[in-house]
Amino acid sequence: MRAPAPHWLTASEASRAFAARTLSPVDLLTDLLARIEALQPKLHAFVRLDADAAMDAARAAERELAARRIRGPLHGIPVAVKDIIDVAGLPTTCHSRLLLDNVAAADAEVIARLRQAGAIILGKTATHEFAIGGPSFDLPFPPARNPWNPDHHPGGSSSGSGAGVAGGLFPAALGSDTGGSVRNPASCCGIVGLKPTYGLVSRRGVFPLSYTLDHVGPLVRSVADAALMLDAMAGHDPADPGSAPSPTRLFARELGRGVRDLRIGFVRHFHETDQPAHPEMTAALEDAARVLQAEGADLRTVTLPRLTEFGGVNRVILTSEAWSVHARWLRTRPGEYGRLSRQRLLPGAFIPAGDYVGAQRRRTQMIAAVEDTLREVDVLLCASSMDPASRIEDAAETARTYPRQARTPFNVTGHPALAMMAGLSRDGLPLSVQFVGRYFHDATVLRVAAAFERATGWNTRRPPIG
């Protein structure tokens, strides 16, 4: 079998190729830069490509490899970064006119950890403005597009990160997830997106959307790469008030164990009655359940609070906390926001304190409900998106389908959640599935996802672009 082109290598595969001396960091980056040059005009994944600095880092990584000095498990691997995360010397624009000149003085903690692991920072990727809103055409940069069909959106708000990983522009990227913004691009673009346990990955140096809902997570092309990235990113940061001390664990250690005798709870009501899914998405979810059962899992149907309740709680908390971040600019510079983000941020001014406190109280009850269920099962299986990605120019259909998802519940509760490809629609667009686990049992979520990946091979499918 012919070896895949370097740009289709996963981070894990590239690392092994470096070790075997069949590929060098400079060779990989050169191939990626050529692909970026060809596809950036179609996908708009980047808002800032830092090619010269990346090539300098690749040459340094190559010299270190020759001297048998390995910095870490991501040595020489290019990683792209959502443009709400600080990279020293580069603007953090949040895809907004308000921050076009906002040059970061220091790396975010997660960037510092990736560099310590040997990663090469390739540049900043497109996002929805301030990680809220949707695909917009009234911002300083064009919206990213879906590599499976550029007439469709790639999900968001980590849109450029998802499009670039799926399109072979880079093997790994960072995103943020407040209501599903890592898992939505993973679902729409047919890749793997992990929202780790709340507090497992530092958010210091990440522009906030909602202090108690924000997470940072990886977007990659394989479950093994999600584990590789999480190993580098995870760890307590005393300078992040939301960071949690957690037991040290190697997140890849359980990837090969399979699912035999694991208890998997299928949350069918999310996609059957709460928000009835597109028939092709329903079929993909049922297929996923059958695959895991065939692999030896004990599959059970479970019930959680309704999606409308989770969505309401998330909306009140997110909008209230986002208003506290943006109030000054919304009062003094409202015209500099794009229309969609302004529409989503302004209602925070009118949410009474009592409603915010009530939402936080209901959140505690919802956490207890999910915890009760996770005492009976090891992992949850449920929908991520209810529909394939809509056409990017169809604002009405995008507005209808974007909220039709089951990702928000696990921002409310903070449990680890992973979205990945589970099929292709008749129109050739990715379908998806989501796995959710207990707090700090991210390794178990990865274990189930890896078993599903091996059994189905969906991760080997590539979009037709390029």
pLDDT at residue 355 greater than cutoff 60:
yes
Q: How far apart are CA 56 and CA 121, in angstroms?
A: 11
Catalytic residue among 15, 157, 202, 432: 157
pLDDT tops 70 at residue 253: yes
Say whether domain 6-460 belongs to CATH 3.90.1300.10. yes
The answer, yes or no, to whether residue 248 has pLDDT greater than 90, is no
Which segments of 190-306 does DSSP mark as H helices, in order?
A: 223-233, 268-269, 279-294
pLDDT per position as a tens digit, 37-74: 999 999 999 999 999 999 999 999 999 999 999 999 99
Closest CA to 297 of 254, 260, 255, 257: 260
Closest CA to 270 of 157, 446, 177, 407: 407
Active site residue 159: no
Instruction: Tell me which of 15, 82, 195, 222 is the catalytic residue.
Output: 82
- Per the structure block, which two tokens stand in for 62? 């190559």
- Specify the 3-state DSSP secondary structure of 68: coil
Can 157 be counted among the known catalytic residues?
A: yes
pLDDT at 246 (0 to 100):
77
**pLDDT range class, residue 250, cuts 50, 70, 90:** confident
In this structure, the number of other CB atoms found within 10 A of the CB of residue 344 comes to: 20
Catalytic residue among 161, 181, 187, 385: 181
pLDDT at 1 over 60: no
Q: How many CB atoms lie within 10 A of CB 336?
A: 14
Token pair recorded at residue 433: 């599935």
Quote the CA–CA distance of 284 and 429 in Å, as a whole number: 12
CA gap 17, 71 in Å, rounded? 16
Computed from CA positions of residues 249, 255, 256, 262, in that sequence, does the dihedral angle turn out positive or negative?
positive
Cα distance from N-terminal residue to C-terminal residue, the chain: 21
Per domain, the residue ranges of the chain are 6-460
15 is catalytic: no
Buried b (16+ CB within 10 A) or exposed e, 4-21: eebbebbbbbbbebbeee
The reported pTM is 0.97
List pLDDT tens digits, range 131-178.
Answer: 998 999 999 999 999 999 999 999 999 999 999 999 999 999 999 999
pLDDT in tens, 365-388: 999 999 999 999 999 999 999 999
pLDDT at 4 over 90: no
Q: Return the H-helix or E-strand segment holding 110.
A: helix 109-116
